[in-house]
Amino acid sequence: MTAPHDTEQLIRDALARQAERAPHPQRVLAGLHQGRTPRRGSFRLLAAFAAVAIVAVGVPLSLRLLAPVNQQAPLPPAAPAAPPERPGTPLRFGPGWLPEGLVETERGHANDQGVYRTWTPGHNGGIQDGNEPYAQLSVYPATAPAWADVPRVLASGKNGVPVGGTRGYVAADRAEDQFARLVWMPGADTVLVLNVGNLPKPLALARRIADSVRPVEAPEVRMPVIGDGLRDLGFSVRGASPDGWTAVAQGRRGKYLVSVELSRAEFRPGGQPVTVRGRSGSYLERPDGSLPGSRIAVPLGNGLLLSVYGTDADGLMPLPDLIAVTDALTVDEQAGYPWLGTR
């Protein structure tokens, strides 16, 4: 189970991991002032969520409280949440072969329309410190701006390799830090990106995995928390097993960046007591950077802990607004992820 004091790192991790999935290094990670330790050389800076918006809004992890709560105008009421039965995001492709010992520990949806699946050794529930072996398959529509050049690169033949009966290309091959990336198009409307890291002969492994990738029957990534705008900046679900997982979503609410985490974790009271969602929770504001903004935490049913953060480039989300955002969320307290820890 995830300890509450790890909450801030989970938010940072969810954003920083996306930094491995798009080809423009200069656009985004400037906003992650205190992100986790990067993973691999210059490739560590590849853009997160393929969105300039995160840089514009920022995720300032070192914050100053610029105005008292009672001097900030409240946000307008939240729009009604979508119904909880909303379908998940189809992943559509999966590998038929993986290196021994890797199991699926994460699925996510990025704001650039991509979805991804990650396989790691599984004991720590996903990519944590960047040193563990992993394979990650991302699926994008061909219209995704971050991958608009793929047809041109394929046509040029540069770094071309055969992949599963079609042509792909090697976008990165860094034997010194055991990393490789392959890109190919299984059809005119789809771009696939495979990253393999911290494994010997990563390019050879990436080619073998890529050759085994096929369309699969409707695996999905499904966020158990639904709220106004929470899909804007993406979400992910990760864990070592169905008994221990964490779901993180980011989005916008007015001028604020909102991060929502749902996890199997114990609630430890601390900070200012608040009543939210009809339950007793706690409120913390940490302008010293130890939390990414103000936070509400509240225990739910089925052993779940809901944590909601709110911040903008100038300060913390006022408590009344943070309560309103938290109350407006639709939470699936029966959510389950049987694919965690499987091949």
Q: Which domains does the chain have, with CATH numbers?
A: 89-221 (2.60.120)
Beta bridge partners of 89: 221
Alpha helices in 291-333 (DSSP H): 319-328
Q: Which of 85-99, 233-247, 324-338 has the lowest mean pLDDT?
A: 85-99
Where is pLDDT greater, at 218 or 19? 218
Q: Is the pTM of this model over 0.75?
A: no
Alpha helices in 18-145 (DSSP H): 52-57
Q: For residue 129, name the pLDDT band (cuts at 50, 70, 90).
A: low
Where is pLDDT greater, at 128 or 297? 297
Asked whether the predicted pLDDT for residue 10 surpasses 70, the reply is no
108 close to 234: Cβ distance less than 8 angstroms: yes
The pair phi, psi for residue 280, each rounded to 5°, is: -85, 125
Instruction: Report the mean per-residue pLDDT for the chain.
Output: 76
Q: Which pLDDT score, from 0 to 100, does residue 51 have?
A: 33
Most confident of 45-49, 62-66, 131-135, 268-272: 131-135
Q: For residue 4, name the pLDDT band (cuts at 50, 70, 90).
A: very low
Length of the chain counted residue by residue: 343
Q: For residue 252, name the pLDDT band (cuts at 50, 70, 90).
A: confident
Per-residue CA distances from 98 to 95, 118, 134, 197 (Å) = 7, 11, 10, 13
Q: For residue 223, name the pLDDT band (cuts at 50, 70, 90).
A: confident
What lies within 8 Å, CB to CB, of 317 at 6+ separation is 253, 256, 258, 293, 294, 309, 310, 311, 325
Where is pLDDT greater, at 62 or 289? 289
Q: For residue 326, name the pLDDT band (cuts at 50, 70, 90).
A: very high
Q: For residue 290, name the pLDDT band (cuts at 50, 70, 90).
A: low
- Average of per-residue pLDDT across 189-212: 96
